[in-house]
Amino acid sequence: MLRRLGPWPRRAISSGPDASSEPGVNGRFVAFWAAPLLAVMAAAAVLIGLATYQLTDRAIAAGQLAANRLGGPLVRPAPGIAGGFPRRTGAITDPAVLAIVGEFGQRFRATGNAMVARARLTADPASGVGSPAGQDVTDSWTSGLYGQPGHLDPRTLRPSWIAYYGLDTNGMLGRPAASIMRLMRGLTGPVGPVSAWPVAAGQRGGSAKCTMAWLGHARVSACGWATDHTIGALVSPARETAVRELATLMVTMRDDLQRG
C-alpha cells in the first residue's frame, strides 16, 4: 500500500519582464495613437485626391487646347487645290457670282474684325475671351474661289463653285463653340433669328456649323468652322450645292486649307 508522502509539488511559474506590468496598458497605448494616425491618413488621402483632380483637370484642359489647335494656321495664299477642287483665277465676270462673293466677303470681314477687336482685350480666364495681357494680336486673311468639275449649276449649266474666306490670328478668339455662332450670325446678316446646326468639324478640330443665308439676292448654303485662333467659311448657291453636301466638302477642303 502506497503512502502519500505529502502534497504534490506545484510547478513554479516563471515570471517574465512584463509580469509586473498593469493589464491593458498596451491596449490603451494603441488606442491613444490610433485616432491621430487615422486623422493624418485621412488628411493625406484628401490631399492626394485633390492633387489627382487638379492634374486630371489640367490634362483635360491641355487636351482640349491641343485639339482646338490641331488645325494649325491657314495656308496663305489659299492653295491651288482644296479637297480636289481647283482654284479659279482671274476676275469674276458673272454679275450674280460677283454679288454673292462680294457680300460674303463684306460680312465675313466685318465679323472677323469684331472678333479680333474682342481678342485684343485683356484675357478673361473665366470666359476664355481675349489674349494674354500685353500680347500684340495680329490677324491675317485669305480667300479663294474653287470650281467643282463635273458639278453643274442647273440654271447656267456652268461648273458649280464654292467661295472661301478665312481668318487666322496669333491670339485667342475665344471658345470655338461661341466663335462659330458669331460667324453664323455674321454671315446671315440682319434677317432675324439664326438657324444654324452643328456638323462634323473633321480631324482639324474645333467647332463647325452650317446655315442658310441670303447673299447678293440669292439663297446660299453656308458652312464654317472655328478653332481658338482661326475661323473659316464656305458658301455656294443652294441650287448648286446643298447644305449637307457643303458640310461634307468642308471637311475634305480643310485638310488643304489648313496646315497640320
- The candidate with the shortest Cα–Cα distance to 167, out of 227, 237, 250, is 227
CB 84 within 8 A of CB 252: yes
Q: How far is the C-alpha of 116 from the C-alpha of 127, rounded, in Å?
A: 16
Q: How confident is the model at residue 163 (pLDDT cuts 50, 70, 90)?
A: very high
In terms of average pLDDT, the best of 30-34, 38-42, 81-85, 256-260 is: 81-85
Higher pLDDT, 154 or 181: 181
DSSP labels for 122-183? BPBTTTTBSB-TT----EEEEEEEEEEEEEE-TTT-SEEEEEEEEEEESS----HHHHHHHH
Per-residue pLDDT at 230 exceeds 60: yes
- The candidate with the shortest Cα–Cα distance to 195, out of 219, 211, 208, is 211
232 three-state secondary structure: strand
The domain locations on the chain are: 27-71, 73-257
Per-residue pLDDT at 3 exceeds 60: no
pLDDT of residue 158: 75
Q: What is the pTM of this model?
A: 0.70
